[in-house]
Structures are given as C-alpha cells and as structure tokens.
Chain A
C-alpha cells in the first residue's frame, strides 16, 4: 500500500486523478477491484476494466475493438469493413448487443433490420433440442439475410412469432392473492413465444419444416465475460462435483471441448461454460470470438486458429446457390460444381486482419462490470437475506475468485468477483422453452442497470419475462422450491428481494 501511495504522489498531470475515489466493501466491486467500473448511467456496460483504461496500448486496442463491434460490415469492396456474406445473420455485433450489455426487445415480427429485434432464430430437431441443428441444410444459428444475388436460407417474411398466454397452477397469483405484476398493464398474465416458419419461406425444397421446430433466443450481455473466462476449469469442475454430491439441483456441466488450435493461451480440453447451453468453453473460442466470423460471415485468417478461413455456410446451401441462375451470372464460365467448390473452399480470401481480431478480443475480454449499488440500504440488505433464505444461491452462486495466472489478461487474475452464477445448466421446466430447457444459470451482476441502459427489463433466454418478478416466477423444475418461497413472501419482502437483485 505504501508503495502505491508513493507512486500516487509522484504524478500530476491530466492523466492523473484529481478526485479521490470513494471506498466500498468488497461486494460493491462486482467484477473485483480490477474488473469493476463505477458508472451507473446509460454507458455503464460500455466501459473498459481499469487496468485497460490505464494502459495506452491496451486502451487503443480496446477502442479499436469497440469500433469493430459497432461498425456494420458491408459487401461492397474497399469500404474498410468489407466482407459481409454471402449469407449472414446480422451486419454487426451491436445489432444484437445494444450498449454491449443491454438486450433487445420482445417483437412480434422477425425483422433483422429492426434494431429492437436482437433474437437469433434457431431451427432444431425436437427429439434432440440441446444440440445445434447439425443438418446439411442450416447453420447452427439460422441465417435470414444474404447479399444479392445470393438468397437467404430462410425468408424473414415467413417467420411467425406468436406470444401465448400462460396460467400457472396458482392462477398467476401470489399466496396472498395478489396477481403477478400487480399494477402493470399486463397484471396477472404470463406470456411465452411460439415460433413457426412457413414451408415456402425455406430455400431448400427438400427440407421438411413440419418435422422440425423453431425458436428464438435473445442475446445476453458481453460485459464481465473476460472475468468468467478467468475462472479456472478446476474450480468449475469442483462446483459441478459439489452439486452432484449435495442431493438437489445437480447442475449439468458443459461438455468437454478440445480447444487445440482455437485458443492460443489454453489449448487442450475445457468444459463448456458460455452460451445458454454451455456449448463454448473459453472466450478465445467463445460466442464472441466465433460471432465476429459466423454472424457476419467475415473471414479471418489467423495463424494458429483453425476453421475460420472458410465461409459459415452448409454444403446444401452452397449447392443450392450454385444452381441459382443469378448466382451463376457472377461466376462466368464456372460450372455449378465449381461454384459449389469455390463457396466451400477452406481457403477463402481473408477479410479481417489478425491485428483487428486481436483488438476485438481485447475489447471483448475487458468490458468491465458495473459496481453494485446501494448495498448499505436496509431494504437491499433484507432482500439479500431473503435471496439466500429462498435457496437462490444454490445455482446463482454469489462469488468466485479468478485463477491466479490468467494469461490473456494477467490483470484479471486473482479477482474476487460476484457474478451470481454457477456456470452450470439447470432444468427450469418452462413451457415451450425452445432449445433452452436446461439453461445455464444467468449471471445477475449489473442487470439492475438494464432499465437505464435499455429502457426495459425483459429477461430470460427468449425475453418472456417482462420484469424481475416474472423471471423468478418462470423458475420451475429444479428451482420450483425457490419460486414457491418467493410466492409465499409478503409484498414488502418480494419487493425487497427484487431491490437486492437491482442492486447487484
């Protein structure tokens, strides 16, 4: 500490603090000392962690990475952000991650040009919903856009989203008789989405939609993911083992994934921990590292990184396009088989540099967690007790300590963080959950700021919950006891518990 104070005294220019930062208890530092930012404005989810803000090189990479996340990629050549398509899901990261941690809104129509729509469309096999649809027709996340003359695998006009009413076994009322979400325009109701796709909206004439299902999944926040990545596999496996031994709420750990050739820092086998279904293991092969490629179809050619110099399309798609006269017209002199082979080539021309990809990952890894707020408020403290008493922490594990040697960003090592997740999957037994019946426990840190950032409080994987209250009330299955305890609380106690959630 004395060493630090001596350093403080030595500096005096505009890069140095003029104002003495306030001091708080450790739980206020939700992302640990090095991963927390004190900002509770609309910009709360956009800030770099303090060590990156303090390092000239990392800061510039962070800002470059932010630019790459914000910019739309285009199909036109020579525009700086070229390389979009041929088929794609969105043009930019920010299209689905508003403010990087805000969330989209419930929509009735799947229009990827509507900034409110941050859903991904999934077509899946109802007999095996947890697996990405590894058919020869569709990519795991369904593409609904294409750069002309290419055609989209699914025409958005044929996607139907219907919001269904649901009444639980209690008639959507608390034990004290109060209707759920009392005082709102939607008092006493619960809703969930049903998605269907018209057969004629599907590009592939021999794909039978009636034997498949579709669902929508909303994106989640990016902030704090570097800290979650910095939790060791050993600690994650220990949490899993502990849950198997305890006799209730046994979480499902993500399948082991071989990251050799995909993660330069930690090659080898790692358990999945990212995405709703824990299908991604480390940040360097995580949803973001892949999305910069598979959402936009911008090809990267990274030394030591396999599989990213090809297009994110299926063989069936390549074949269908090779037979399309409009596509054939832009490949003069090539036979359909040659067009198909060209599209499926694993040596596509790189469209993003290694430097840009690295900057993108610095940004991704170092988005800070907003500090918790009002933890000394008596109502918040009461809510915390109720949260613990109701058993919520069985899955929403309050804290972890990151590994001591986090190689991609050493400053995120050894941080005591408060994400309120076990990084494991649990069965919440929701009605029509789509693919996500057994869902990863969502981190709760920073979510209380969503109303300021996004102007709404929609929650859960498909945004069926319109507020914290409904998010809790959709907890069935393994978490049903917690829901029932919440239902039995007095109005004041229910509000206190939610105050706590808003604070952390």
Chain B
C-alpha cells in the first residue's frame, strides 16, 4: 500500500520553487474576514450539534449504567446482567462516536479523560488482588484515584463480559468493584460534557452528578483553559489565536482517528498476532467500536449526528465549495471504510450481527484480505482529510 507519495513529491517541487515564490504570498485581507465568518458558522454547528450532543449522550448513557447496576445489585438474573451489559455497550458506542474529537478537555494535555477511561491493557493482577480481598475499602472516590489501568471502560467490561457474552453471575466483590468503577467512569464522562458545554449549560441532574466527588470539581477548577471549551472553540478564543486554527481542529481530529483505527486498532493486533492487543475483547465489541469511530468522523464532517447528509454549515459543504472532487472522495471513503470494517466480521445487516469477532480474527489469523482492505480504507481516509489543511486560509 502506498501513502500520499504525490503530496510529498509535490512538496519537494514546491520547495524547489520556493525561492521564486518567496515574498509573493498573498495578502489575505478582506478574504480572511469572509473565511472567518464561514469557519465560525461551521464551528458553531460542529460544537452545538455534534460534539456537545455526543458528550451529553455519553454522560446520560453512563448514568444509565449506574441505574442498571442498581437493578443488578437488587437481584442478579440473566435479565439484569444483560441489562447492565447493554448499558455498557450503549455508553461505549457514544464514547467511540466521540473519538473524532479527541482534543480539548478529553486530551492528555487537559483532563486526560481519554487516558483515564479508555486505558488498555489492564493491570489485571492489581484488579484481581482487589477482588481477592473482597474489594475491601474500595469506594467510588478511591476508585477514581486509581491508576488508569485499573478503572474505566475496559475494567467494567471485564467485570460484565466474557467471550462476547454477559457473564452468568458476579461475585459480591465484583459487584462492588463494578459499582465503584462505574461511578468513576460516570464522573469522567460527565466531566467531559461539563468541560465542553460549561457547567451553567448542563441540566441540574448532570450538575448534581458532577459535584458528587469534590476531587473531580477541584481537578476541573484547577485547569480553566478547558472550561466551556465549546464556546472557546467556536469563537476561537482561549487557546486559539485565529479562527482558522480552531477550524483546523475538525479535519485534524478526523485524520487522527482514521489513522488510529486503521493502522493501530486493526493493523497492530493482526500484525503482531496478539489477541491481547485487541481492545474490547471481553465483550467482542471491537468491530462496532471501530465503526463507531468512522461514524464519529462522518458526524464531524457532515455536522449534527447521524444526519445522513451534510448540513449547510458543515466541513463537507466547505470542502465541496473549494474542491468537490475531494469532498466526494471523502464521503465515499467514509462509507467504504465502514463497509470494509464490517466485512472483517462478515457483518449481516439483516440481523445486525457479525459472523466473526475481531478477537477471533486475530486469534485464528483469518480474514487477512478483509483486514488489509479495512486498514487501507482507513489510511486513505486519513490521507484525504489531511489535504483539507491546504484549503484553509
């Protein structure tokens, strides 16, 4: 597979021409004012209709995990365990649908929410030691302060699933750990939502949950650069010194996750033949995770969430106005990437199920052609998104 060789060669050519062109750069003048208005309108839609609603959905889905856990604690049955597992899956879907915007509050430079809730691998010996000790002394607050490898989505997954199915039962210690780890997860998801939307703009219920743990509130208060981040992004204030810089985040976020889905999440486990490299392998939710990432890209590109077509104020509309060929290629490649990811597991659209989990694909080293095709599609998608920078003045 070849990457964007032509882009690089063009860069060399451009460099050779640079002496001739130096000093001839265009004074953007009034044009940049027009561009800023366009960029701001798109950022407004991106923040108001894509990122903040996604984080709200994530926070609410995480809270549903708490409700499901309460039912589970009241009485373990196949039904209550299934409900808790389903609640995990729903929260997981929204998290994956947020990964085209892994910058701002969730990044490692800010509140490191990504690192805190989606860490893999697990420090399994430490988790098992807590369970062996009957989760003695474990509270939700102490859980939030644990190392990231002992909390988050994958620990709650480990407690709820085995081999792609909800577990038959959980021990008292496991229930205790699940309850505490779920609370820690909820707080981080709520923190992401509050930081993007601003505490004043979330519901009273969310605000109450946000303030359940004073450590979270203190942590938040100590880093004001990421408060009300959505407003800062769409108005290019705070960390941003120009609207173009803020606008560039949308395409960069898409390129970043496209690269990660293809060349790391899919390629890395298959190439190293290590099932341990597969994320979400207790639930066998990996392929849905990856598809969720591409959906995240589509939402960021089209504006809104699951709109089916680009909104008027969207990155797609902007690109189409500048270079319709690039826009068409990106739209087609998004669908192609989803199809290729589904093909890895021989997805059955009628039943919504996969014949193979990614865990089995890696374990048995099967579906190599489909894996390669999906990696290539994601990589191509990243290459296309990286070209958008050239359209931004």
Contacts and interface: CB of A to CB of B under 8 A. Distances in A.
Contacts of A4: 9-10, 12-13
A64 B264 contact: yes
The A contact surface, by secondary structure, is loop
Given A24-B25, A40-B245, A75 B125 contact: yes
A33 interface: yes
Interface stretch (B50-58, B90-98, B102-110, B309-317): B102-110
B330 to A, nearest CB: 9
A74 interface: yes
Contact of B21 (A23, A56, A64): A23
Interface string A451-462: 111111000000
19 contacts: A11-B6, A15-B5, A15-B6, A18-B384, A38-B389, A43-B255, A46-B256, A63-B264, A63-B268, A71-B120, A75-B125, A75-B126, A76-B121, A79-B122, A91-B147, A98-B109, A115-B108, A376-B25, A451-B241
Interface string B318-343: 00000101100100010000000000
A81 B121 contact: yes
A140 B389 CA distance: 43
A18 B1 contact: no
Interface stretch (A47-55, A203-211, A260-268, A320-328): A47-55
B376 to A, nearest CB: 9
Contacts of B116: 115
A20 interface: yes
B239 interface: yes
B233 to A, nearest CB: 10
Interface size on A, as a range, is 35 or more
Interface of A: 1, 4-5, 7-8, 11, 14-26, 29, 33-34, 38-43, 46, 50-51, 53-56, 59-60, 63-64, 66-67, 71-72, 74-82, 91, 94, 98-99, 102, 105, 113, 115-116, 148, 376, 451-456, 502
Contacts of B110: 455
Contact of A59 (B3, B333, B386, B388): B3
Contacts of A451: 239, 241
Given A16-B4, A81-B121, 8 more contacts: A15-B6, A15-B383, A19-B388, A64-B271, A91-B147, A99-B107, A376-B25, A455-B239
Contact of B3 (A55, A99, A502): A55
A311 B42 CA distance: 53
Interface size on B, as a range, is 35 or more
Contacts of A42: 103-104, 107, 109, 249, 252-253
A29 B240 CA distance: 22
Interface in B253-273: 253, 255-256, 259-260, 263-264, 267-268, 271
Contact of B18 (A18, A26, A53): A26
Contacts of B183: none
B164 interface: no
B166 to A, nearest CB: 23
A46 B259 CA distance: 12
A79 B172 CA distance: 25
Nearest to B127: A76
A413 to B, nearest CB: 13
Contacts of A454: 109
B123 A39 contact: no
Name which of A22, A82, A115, A454 has the most chain B CB atoms within 10 A of its CB.
A115
A59 B263 contact: yes
B2 A18 contact: no
B387 interface: yes
B390 A22 contact: yes
B3 A74 contact: no
A14 B276 contact: no
Contacts of A67: 264, 268
B8 A74 contact: no
Contacts of B145: 113
B14 interface: yes
A63 B277 CA distance: 14
Contacts of B391: 19
B178 to A, nearest CB: 19
A485 B194 CA distance: 45
B13 to A, nearest CB: 5
B368 interface: no
Contact of B384 (A14, A24, A72): A14
Contacts of B112: 98, 115
Name which of B108, B268, B380 has the most chain A CB atoms within 10 A of its CB.
B108
Given A14-B333, A56-B3, A79 B121 contact: yes
B121 A18 contact: no
Contacts of A54: 2-5, 7-8
A115 B115 CA distance: 9
A15 B262 CA distance: 14
B124 interface: yes
Given A60-B263, A455-B226, A74 B239 contact: no
A26 B259 contact: no
Nearest to A13: B380
B198 interface: no
B26 to A, nearest CB: 9
A17 B6 contact: yes
Given A7-B9, A14-B384, A50-B8, A99 B108 contact: yes
Contact of A60 (B223, B239, B241, B267): B267
A70 to B, nearest CB: 8
Nearest to B124: A76
Contacts of A11: 5-6
B2 A15 contact: yes
A98 B10 contact: no
B252 A76 contact: no
Interface in B224-259: 225-226, 238-241, 245, 248-249, 252-253, 255-256, 259
A91 B120 CA distance: 12
Name which of A8, A20, A24, A63 has the most chain B CB atoms within 10 A of its CB.
A63
A17 B225 contact: no
Q: Which 7 A-B pairs have the closest CB atoms?
A: A80-B276, A63-B263, A25-B22, A455-B225, A115-B112, A42-B103, A33-B15
Contacts of B260: 63
B267 A72 contact: no
A82 B121 CA distance: 9
Given A72-B149, A74-B122, A8 B17 contact: no
Contacts of A148: 126, 129
A39 B389 contact: yes
A24 B390 contact: no
Given A11-B6, A80-B277, A91-B149, A1 B383 contact: no
